[in-house]
Amino acid sequence: MAVTVPGWPVSVRWPWRYRTRQALWAGVDLLFPPQCAGCGQVGHRFCAACESRVVPLSPPVCETCGHPVEQPGQCLLCLLGTRPIAPLAGLRSAAFFDGPLQNAIHSLKYKGDIILADTLAVRLAQVDLAAAAGDSLVVPVPLGQARLKSRGYNQAALLARGFSELRGLRCAPDAARRWRETDTQVYLSPAERRANVAGAFESDLRVVRGQTIILVDDVCTTGATLAACAAALMAAGAAAVWGLTLSRAPIAPSWAEQLRREAGRRGRRRDFRL
């Protein structure tokens, strides 16, 4: 079965493994009626009202980092070099990290609502990503051993599994490893985030050599974690690494204003959307 989402050029496939799990989850729902992860309404895992409040980052987006722009090209962040994502070939996200999606990701990550990953993976499968049309290898951003043990699962791996099945791509859940535990990134500046995760990953060259990789994570703030993991994959011989996240942090209005002033000083278009 193919599902075409209105307004999106991408046709989503539903292979049998994904469909089988959906049937299983439907059985679980009969026994234990779910609560919407966005608003708490009983009877839905993620209700239609919450789904409709998630605004996809639809094209045109920045050709480098995937941030929405007024016209094709690069966003202010990339033009000004404010958010370096190298060695990623590019970065795309399904939506901004706010509202019901933020609640849903919180449930997936911290409340053990692992079934939600398959629901949210549909959003990833809808992202317009050229690499997903080829024979790319899907790899989740790994957790450190301690965090994996305490949480019991890697939410990025669950999302990567659903995404790869929906797009008919191969998935290598263990292709990258976080060999060093990293501090939580929440309270760190962009530079501190990059230093925190630099060199924290390693990758299996037998799996990734020569491959175009789609590196999947749940949230992206500065792209530092994805870039550090991509560096390990490239060092192991990957041909290219694209980042794909379910959500990304919106740009704070004060920072946006700062960027526009800087762009104005450099003679860039001031009306360029971030």
User: Does residue 47 bind Zn ion (CB under 5 A)?
Assistant: yes
Q: What gap in Å lies between CA 211 and CA 105, rounded to an integer?
A: 29
- Cα 258 from chain centre: 26
**Using CB under 5 A, which of 54, 61, 62, 208 touches Zn ion?**
62
Structure tokens at 15: 């292979």
- Our finding on whether 93 is near Zn ion (CB under 5 A) is no
Closest CB to Zn ion among residues 41, 258: 41
Which residue stretch of 39-47, 102-110, 160-168, 230-238 sits at the interface with Zn ion (rule: CB under 5 A)? 39-47
Q: Which span (46-54, 116-124, 183-191, 196-204) binds Zn ion, by CB under 5 A?
A: 46-54
Pick from 243, 221, 247, 216: nearest CA to 100: 247
**Residue 39 binds to Zn ion (criterion: CB under 5 A):** yes
Q: Which two tokens stand for residue 112?
A: 């053990």
Instruction: State yes or no: residue 38 binds Zn ion (CB under 5 A).
Output: yes
Nearest residue to 199 via CA among 173, 229, 220, 175: 229
Query: How many residues lie near Zn ion (CB under 5 A)?
Result: 13
Q: Does 220 bind Zn ion (CB under 5 A)?
A: no
Q: Which stretch binds Zn ion (CB under 5 A): 41-49, 53-61, 104-112, 115-123?
A: 41-49
Q: What is the smallest separation between the CB atom of 185 and Zn ion, expressed in angstroms?
A: 20
Of the candidate residues 36, 104, 176, 228, the single one contacting Zn ion (CB under 5 A) = 36
- Does position 50 interact with Zn ion (CB under 5 A)? The reply is yes
Q: Among 37-45, 183-191, 201-209, 218-226, which window interacts with Zn ion (CB under 5 A)?
A: 37-45
**What is the three-state SS of 91-126?**
EEEEEECCHHHHHHHHHHHHCCCCCHHHHHHHHHHC
How would you classify the pairing of strands 90-96 and 240-248? Answer: parallel
Residue 141 Cβ, how far from Zn ion at the closest point, in Å? Answer: 20
Rg for the chain, CA atoms, rounded: 18
- DSSP characters for 198-251? TT-EEE-HHHHTT-EEEEEEEEESSSHHHHHHHHHHHHTT-SEEEEEEEEEPPP
For residue 263, state whether it binds Zn ion (rule: CB under 5 A).
Answer: no
Beta carbon of residue 53, minimum distance to Zn ion (angstroms, whole number): 8
Least Å from the CB of residue 87 to Zn ion: 16
Distance of CA 126 to the CA centre of its chain: 12
Q: Which is nearer to Zn ion, 41 or 196 (CB)?
A: 41
Residue 231: both structure tokens together: 């560096």
Q: Out of 57, 61, 75, 89, which residue is the one contacting Zn ion (CB under 5 A)?
A: 75
* Cα separation, 49 vs 146, whole angstroms: 37
Q: Does 64 bind Zn ion (CB under 5 A)?
A: yes
Nearer to Zn ion, 153 or 272 (CB): 272
Footprint of Zn ion (CB under 5 A): 36, 38-39, 41, 47, 50, 62, 64-65, 67, 75, 77-78
